[in-house]
Amino acid sequence: MISVAMKTAAAAIAAAGLAYTSAEEALSGPAYGDDDRLTALTEEALAEHATAVFTRADRDRSGALNSDEYAALSIVSAELARLNGFVVIESENGHGTLALAGLTPSALSQSEHVRVDAVARSAFYRHAGNDGLMDAQEYANAQQAMFEVADFNRNGVLKRGELKAFANKQALVSAGV
């Protein structure tokens, strides 16, 4: 059961063009250790991450994601984060990780898959504008909106509990989990 889910995740990871060169690499276990854990995240670092993710997700280099591409990216990212127990934040100087809070690593259940897809499409239409396409700036704005919700003291930096809240938002974990 798990291996089927993981193979599905691997195929989706490949389809979404995420940072793994092969399904084997994606499923060989976390390639990151405690040393990679971030202790703070700034808005600037998040903007860099958003640019990197958007560039990779826009595989045909059309300059925009449609709702299906955005939903696929969101589902694959959520699945990977939940299998690993952390989300990866990319930067020019390497990658850092943020641990998810309150979950045991596992594959997305079918009902979670459906929920994540719906949440992602809702976020897509909130940020994509009237053209129904999400460009790099709109993607960055969607990421920034997640950051602002997690920045409880509104000082432009996420730390401690704010990082956990942000990681769970990135993985589209429901508030009740």
The site for Ca ion (CB under 5 A) is made up of: 128-129, 131, 133, 151, 153, 155, 157, 162
User: Judged by CB, which is closer to Ca ion: 119, or 133?
Assistant: 133
| Minimum CB–partner distance for residue 45 and Ca ion (Å) | 13
Among the listed residues 98, 90, 116, the one whose alpha carbon sits nearest the alpha carbon of residue 19:
90
98 - beta bridge partners? 87
Of all residues in the shown chain, the one whose CB is closest to Ca ion is: 129
Provide the CA 30 distance to its chain's centre, in angstroms.
16
| Minimum CB–partner distance for residue 39 and Ca ion (Å) | 12
135 - beta bridge partners? 64
| Minimum CB–partner distance for residue 128 and Ca ion (Å) | 5
DSSP 8-64: HHHHHHHHHT-S-SSHHHHHS--S--GGGB-SEEEHHHHHHHHHHHHHHH-TT--SE
Q: How far apart are the C-alpha atoms of 174 and 35, rounded to whole Å? A: 28
| Minimum CB–partner distance for residue 51 and Ca ion (Å) | 16
User: Judged by CB, which is closer to Ca ion: 70, or 86?
Assistant: 70
User: Judged by CB, which is closer to Ca ion: 5, or 133?
Assistant: 133
User: Judged by CB, which is closer to Ca ion: 45, or 83?
Assistant: 45
